Structure 1
Amino acid sequence: MFNIFTTLLKAGSPTVDLKINQPFAQIGETITGCFYLHGGRKTQKIKRLECSLVKEYEDGSFDTVEEVTTILMSKQLSEKETLEFPFTFVITDKFQPTTNNITYRFHTNLVYSDNLSSKDHDELVILTSEVDD
């Protein structure tokens, strides 16, 4: 019975954490950081790591703006093991600056055995470019 509850709550499952070096950027700047995969209570087979940038609206709806990366793998992640993968993303001119009505988030998804997953969300603020007169 305990195993059923821990499975439903994903207790002891592997986790993913995207740590970006700066949570804000202007158009043309590059965001860097690292994905950290942390082992859970038992060894799990990792299938893939996915990250997308989504635009979230004031009403809670969102659109996927860009698929940032997908890393396919067939890796065993043991308990207490941590894997690191570098992260780089360029803010292009197709993005609008962040406003009170529009925010951006990186949605990261770690898919492991039986298509279960762990998720992480990180906010990104896109600043208005200053124009020199």
Structure 2
Amino acid sequence: MLLRKYMSKIGIGSATVDLVLDKETYSPGEKVTGTLYIKGGTIPQKIKQLQCDLMKINNQADQQSIASITLFAPDIIDPADCAKIPFEFVLPNLPATTDSLTYRFKTTLVFEEGIDSLDHDTIQILKNKPSGGENDEKIMEKNSVHL
């Protein structure tokens, strides 16, 4: 048991997080939906935080967090557990994806002890359509309400 606890602290056999999106292509202002899965590792682990960042990547080198949301997660994940958490996020008005500009969700499962579990999900943003349009402040307000 002690060996499994130590291994889990260095990331071997620890709980994992996986964001599964309903689709990969979106328009600015569209709602992104999916499910977050937290799968238990070899020992029970205390979860400190579950966070998802929308990242903007320019030329594969420059990464910037556009928005960050904290999600509700169980306090402890046991070895046999698989928690399912609904995911919703309304995209702000963003430039379209290009060869040099991409977007992804970076999901981080932070433990009380041990190495964080990460998941990355790339999305494609289509060219902006004219709309009656909500501004980014209202969109971000919606994101905080839907958590």
TM-score (normalizing by structure 2): 0.77
The answer as to 2:75 corresponding to 1:109 is no
**Counterpart of 1:50?**
51
CA distance in structure 2 between the partners assigned to 1:92 and 1:45 by the alignment: 33
SS of match in other structure, 2:113: helix
- Superposed displacement of residue 52, structure 1: 0.5
Structure 1 residue ranges (4+ consecutive) displaced by more than 3 angstroms after TM superposition: 2-9
CA distance in structure 2 between the partners assigned to 1:78 and 1:11 by the alignment: 15
- Superposed displacement of residue 76, structure 1: 1.5
The answer as to 2:51 corresponding to 1:36 is no
Identity of aligned residues (%): 32
**Counterpart of 2:145?**
none
Gapped regions of structure 2 (runs ≥ 5): 131-147
Does the CA-based 8 Å contact 2:56-2:63 persist in structure 1? yes
**Counterpart of 2:82?**
82
Cα RMSD after superposing both structures: 2.2
- Superposed displacement of residue 91, structure 1: 1.9
- AA matched with 1:104: Y
Question: Cα distance 1:129–1:72, how it changes in 2: closer, same or farther (>3 A)?
Answer: closer
CA distance in structure 2 between the partners assigned to 1:7 and 1:96 by the alignment: 40
Question: Cα distance 1:28–1:55, how it changes in 2: closer, same or farther (>3 A)?
Answer: same
CA distance in structure 2 between the partners assigned to 1:83 and 1:8 by the alignment: 20
Question: Cα distance 1:73–1:35, how it changes in 2: closer, same or farther (>3 A)?
Answer: closer
CA distance in structure 1 between the partners assigned to 2:85 and 2:73 by the alignment: 12
Q: Across the two proteins, how many residue pairs are aligned to each other?
A: 128
**Counterpart of 2:96?**
97
- Superposed displacement of residue 113, structure 1: 2.1
CA distance in structure 2 between the partners assigned to 1:23 and 1:73 by the alignment: 24
SS of match in other structure, 2:19: strand
Does the CA-based 8 Å contact 2:57-2:63 persist in structure 1? yes
Does the CA-based 8 Å contact 1:36-1:82 persist in structure 2? yes
Does the CA-based 8 Å contact 1:47-1:72 persist in structure 2? no
Higher strand share: 1
- AA matched with 1:23: E
CA distance in structure 2 between the partners assigned to 1:80 and 1:3 by the alignment: 15
Of stretches 117-126 and 54-63 in structure 1, the one that deviates more from structure 2 is 54-63
- Superposed displacement of residue 86, structure 1: 0.9
